[in-house]
Amino acid sequence: MTTGFFIAIEGGEGAGKSTQANLLAKHLQSLGFEVVTTREPGGTHTAEKIRDILLDPKIDDMPATTEALLFAAARADHAANLIRPALERGAVVICDRYIESSVAYQGAARGLGVDYIRQLSAWATHDLMPDFTIYIDVPVTDSAERMEGTDRMEIQSRDFHTLVHQAFRDIASNSNSAHVQIDGTRDREDIAEQISTAVTEAMKSR
Ligand code: TYD
């Protein structure tokens, strides 16, 4: 049983998720909440080590199944050792990427199957699901423009990132009300405002 509130922020590369996570954290802190901001893959000692493997651009022969299992393994550690304990003491957890990233990247773009990957993540986390998900939608950019642009996932082809983008949109449009889609091309303050309004509503109506 958890008493906190778990928010996931999802989107493709360069969607400004971490900036928005920090702005939302400041907003919620100013309202008196304990806020924990974290990210995936990573967030705990073990998960950060798995992240190093997952994002190492020198590894060019990782099977998609290994990749999916490593993301799930990182998530299992993160959920057990950081997210669940924080929620149990009543904190708001804001996570930069969570299960929907696995569904979009490994399930859809790698072709492993969205239902299969969803089940894997659910199993790995003992069904720890976000209370609210924010999807920030931005157009797919060329890899050259794609942020700092050199990790193993960022250097995947434009076609791969187009599949990721389409998958995120499909998930967002098929989701229930515990999900909001935000136009990530608008200005930073505008996006932050929309996110805090949506989160306040979601927290009230829980
Ligand atoms: P990161 O630098 O954190 O990405 P960003 O700053 O764009 O959010 O790198 C994480 C990469 O891992 C990113 O390309 C998305 C990918 N990823 C997956 O493929 N599956 C997952 O389950 C997660 C959490 C991330």
SS3 111: coil
Q: For residues 150 and 154, what is the distance between their CA atoms, to the nearest angstrom?
A: 6
Q: For residues 46 and 175, what is the distance between their CA atoms, to the nearest angstrom?
A: 31
Beta strand spans in 47-149 (E): 92-96, 132-137
What pTM, to 2 d.p., does this model score? Answer: 0.96
Binding site membership of 101 for ligand 1 (Cβ less than 6 Å):
yes
Cis peptide before 130 (omega within 30 of 0): no
List domains and CATH numbers for the chain.
5-205 (3.40.50.300)
Give me ligand 1 centre to Cα 164, in Å: 11
Beta strand spans in the chain (E): 5-10, 35-39, 92-96, 132-137, 179-183
- Reading the chain (206 residues) residue by residue, the pLDDT tens digits are 578 999 999 999 888 999 999 999 999 999 999 999 999 999 999 999 999 999 999 999 999 999 999 999 999 999 999 999 999 999 999 999 999 999 999 999 999 999 999 999 999 999 999 999 999 999 997 545 655 568 999 989 899 999 999 999 999 999 876 999 999 999 999 999 999 999 999 999 88
CA nearest ligand 1 atom 23, residue: 101
Give me ligand 1 centre to Cα 32, in Å: 30
Q: Is 11:184 a contact under the CB 8 Å cutoff? A: yes
CA nearest ligand 1 atom 16, residue: 153
Binding site membership of 71 for ligand 1 (Cβ less than 6 Å):
yes
pLDDT in tens, 33-82: 999 999 999 999 999 999 999 999 999 999 999 999 999 999 999 999 99
pLDDT at 1: 57
